[in-house]
Amino acid sequence: MFSNSVKYALNAVLYLAINANGSQKILARDISEAIAVPKAYIAKLLQELVRHNIISSERGPKGGFYLTEANRKVPMIKIVEMIDGEELFKSCVLGLEHCNEAKPCPLHEKISPYRWSLLTALEFNTIQDFADEISEHKSYLPQ
Amino acid sequence: MFSNSVKYALNAVLYLAINANGSQKILARDISEAIAVPKAYIAKLLQELVRHNIISSERGPKGGFYLTEANRKVPMIKIVEMIDGEELFKSCVLGLEHCNEAKPCPLHEKISPYRWSLLTALEFNTIQDFADEISEHKSYLPQ
DNA sequence: AATAAAAAAGATATGTATGTCCGAAATATG
DNA sequence: CATATTTCGGACATACATATCTTTTTTATT
C-alpha cells in the first residue's frame, strides 16, 4: 500500500505530535529508537519533512525536531504526497491510462467509493486530529 | 497499491480471458503488445501463472497461452497472491506489529473499508466474471 | 573564543523489483 | 527426419528504494 518511507514518515510525525512541543524538541536518534527505524534513514526523511514545512527543526545543542501550531494543522495527505506522490490514490489500480467513471476498469466501480473516502479522510484530517485520537485512546501507536 | 508485476499479470489474464480459447491460443509477443509490457518480462509472469495452474500454455508451432474452463473459474485474488503474497491486504498500513480491530492504528478505520472492498471484489469474482463484465460493456480494458 | 551538540548535506552501499538475453525443450508441419 | 515455432528456464543487467557513512554547518554553553 504505502512505501516504507511513507510508513516511517507517518509514524515519526505522529510520534512528534504526541511527544514534542516548542520547548520540548526531540532528537532524530530518539525518534529512530521509538519507531524502530534506522537513525540515518529517518533523519533524511525528517530533513525532507522540514524542507516541505510539515515539521520544524533547530540545529545545535538543545536542538531537535518539533511541531509548530502551523505544522499541526497540516493535513496528513501532505506526508504521503511528499514521498509517494499525488497519483497513489488517484491513478487506476490496474495501471490503465484511460480508466475513468465513464469507462471504468473491472475493479473501478467496486473500490472507488472507499478509495475516495480514504483520500478525503487524509485530506481533511490534520496531524493534530490524528494525534488527538491517540490521546483520547480512540487509536494506538506502539509507544 | 499493487506492484507493477501484479498489474501486468491481471491485465494479461483478462486479455487472455477475452481473446483466447482452447483452439485459439495467444503468443507471449501478442499479449506483450496488447497490454504494453516488455515481452520477456510478461513471458516470465505468464510462465509462473502456468506453474500455479492459473492459466495454461502449449509449446511449439500453434502453441501459446490460453485458459481452460477450470482456469476461468479461478478467483482473481489468486493472481495477486501469487505475486505480492497474502500479507498485502492483511498487514497494518503503518507497519505496526500489534495493530488490530481492538487497538487500531490511527489509519486503520479509515483504510479498512477500502482494503475490504478490494479484497472481496478479488475473492468473489473469477477470471470469467471479470471477462463477462467486459464483454457486456460494463467495464473496459484498453483493447 | 573554544567546545560540544545537533541537524543538514553529500557520497556511498545494499537490496529488491524490474527488465533483458540466450540457450534448451517441446511440438506441429512438410 | 529436419525445420520452424513457441514456451521454458537460468543467468544476467538495470533502476529505484532503502540504508549507511562521513563531513559540514549551525548554535548553545562555558
3-state secondary structure (DSSP) of residue B41: helix
A75 DSSP 8-state letter: B
Residue B86's pLDDT is 87
**pLDDT at residue B23 is higher than 90:** no
Residues A33 and A3: their CA atoms lie apart, in Å, by 20
Examine residue B59 and state whether it is found in any structural domain, yes or no: yes
For chain A, the average pLDDT equals 95
Examine residue B40 and state whether it is found in any structural domain, yes or no: yes
Backbone φ and ψ of A66, nearest 5°: -160, 175
Residue A21's pLDDT is 78
A43: the nucleotide nearest its CA (via C1') is C7
Gap between the terminal Cα atoms of chain A: 23
3-state secondary structure (DSSP) of residue A55: coil
What is the arithmetic mean of pLDDT over B135-141?
94
Examine residue A10 and state whether it is found in any structural domain, yes or no: yes
- Residues pairing with A104 in the sheet: none
Half-sphere exposure of residue B39: CA atoms within 13 angstroms, side-chain side: 6
**pLDDT at residue B87 is higher than 90:** no
Residues A76 and A12: their CA atoms lie apart, in Å, by 12
Residues B135 and A44: their CA atoms lie apart, in Å, by 50
Alpha carbon of B133: minimum distance to chain A alpha carbons (Å): 7
When pLDDT is cut at 50, 70 and 90, the band that residue B121 belongs to is very high
Contact B52, B78 (CB under 8 A): yes
**pLDDT at residue B22 is higher than 90:** no
Q: Is B102 on the interface with A (CB under 8 A)?
A: no
What is the arithmetic mean of pLDDT over A84-107?
92
Contact B30, B143 (CB under 8 A): no
Examine residue B32 and state whether it is found in any structural domain, yes or no: yes
Q: pTM for the whole thing? A: 0.94
Residues B42 and A9: their CA atoms lie apart, in Å, by 34
Residue A49's pLDDT is 98
Q: Choose among B14, B115, B135, B138: nearest CA to B65.
A: B14
In chain B, % of residues over pLDDT 90? 90
Q: Which residue of B has its CA nearest to A133?
A: B106
Residue B4's pLDDT is 96
Which CATH number covers residue A29?
1.10.10.10
Of A98, A104, A141, the CB nearest to B105: A141
Q: What is the pLDDT of residues A14-57, one digit of tens each?
A: 999 999 876 799 999 999 999 999 999 999 999 999 999 999 99
Q: Is A103 on the interface with B (CB under 8 A)?
A: yes
Q: Exposed/middle/buried for B19, CB within 10 Å: 0-12, 13-18, 19+? A: middle
Q: What is the pLDDT of residues B34-43, one digit of tens each?
A: 999 999 999 9
What range defines the domain where residue A65 resides?
Answer: 4-135
Residues A20 and A68: their CA atoms lie apart, in Å, by 10
Residues A104 and A87: their CA atoms lie apart, in Å, by 17
- Residue entry with cell 491460443: B25
**pLDDT at residue B127 is higher than 80:** yes
Per-residue flag: B60 CB under 7 A of strand C: yes
**pLDDT at residue B143 is higher than 70:** no
**pLDDT at residue B13 is higher than 90:** yes
- Residues pairing with A26 in the sheet: A65
Query: How many separate domains does chain B show?
Result: 1
3-state secondary structure (DSSP) of residue B33: helix
Q: Is A142 on the interface with B (CB under 8 A)?
A: yes
Q: Choose among A129, A83, A89, A96: nearest CA to A111.
A: A89
Contact B68, B22 (CB under 8 A): yes
When pLDDT is cut at 50, 70 and 90, the band that residue A143 belongs to is low
Residue B142's pLDDT is 79
A135: its cell numbers = 490521546
CB atoms within 10 A of CB B73: 12
CB atoms within 10 A of CB A105: 26
Residue B39's pLDDT is 97
Examine residue A140 and state whether it is found in any structural domain, yes or no: no
